[in-house]
Amino acid sequence: MKSEELIIRMCAPTLAGLKTGSMFSASYRSEAKVKAELRRLNGLFKPKGLVIMPLRFSGKTVLIYVGRMQALERDLNEPRAAAMLKKLNYPCGSTEHCLLHLMRRMRTPQGFPHEVGLFLGYPPEDVLGFVRNRARNYKAVGLWKVYGDTQRALSRFEACRKCTEESYGRFKSGASIEQLIM
């Protein structure tokens, strides 16, 4: 599967503006080639307010983040999100510095940083609920585990599913990745 096809399958709701961010793993042979491909894609994405970056290289797998910078800034400044990030020593006030801090946390052996949900556009009450409940006692599950507004989350899950299906269909019919970015 080519990189653009993988990005569309995994990140269509972010490309379309329905989600703040998406994250996916991909196998690779050459870290240098991955970085070169991400530079090429950033050339397409940045003019449209998107960023694509490697969060972590591990073995022969890379964890990639695709995000909408304006939406991310809004989400990280939401009071509950900002309070959670501040407790985790994130440099609140700079979206770019928060992303760099997330990258550092992804690369440490202390375990997976579950606050990553805030960077993906998950509601703060669901991210906090996930951490407090240790991933148990959730009300629903889809793109994330829901601890807050179930109806709103289920509606978003369905919108993202439809978006992915439609975007992938358009891509297979000849649309370019640039045409799928809203």
Percent of the chain topping pLDDT 70? 99
Q: What tokens does 19 get?
A: 């989600």
Question: In which band, very low, low, confident or very high, does the pLDDT at 1 lie, cut at 50, 70 and 90?
Answer: low
Domain extents in the chain: 3-180
**Residues 6 or more apart whose Cβ sits within 8 Å of residue 91:** 97, 98, 101
Q: Which of 138, 129, 156 is nearest to 19 (CA)?
A: 156
Residue 172 amino acid letter: K
Among the listed residues 125, 116, 110, 106, the one whose alpha carbon sits nearest the alpha carbon of residue 58: 106
CA dihedral sign of residues 145, 148, 151, 157: negative
pLDDT tens-place string over residues 61-103? 999 999 999 999 999 999 999 999 999 999 988 999 999 999 9
User: For residue 57, what are the β-bridge partners?
Assistant: 62
Predicted confidence (pLDDT) per residue in 33-58, tens digit: 999 999 999 999 999 999 999 999 99
What's the CA gap between 94 and 106, in Å, rounded?
Answer: 18
What is this structure's pTM?
A: 0.95
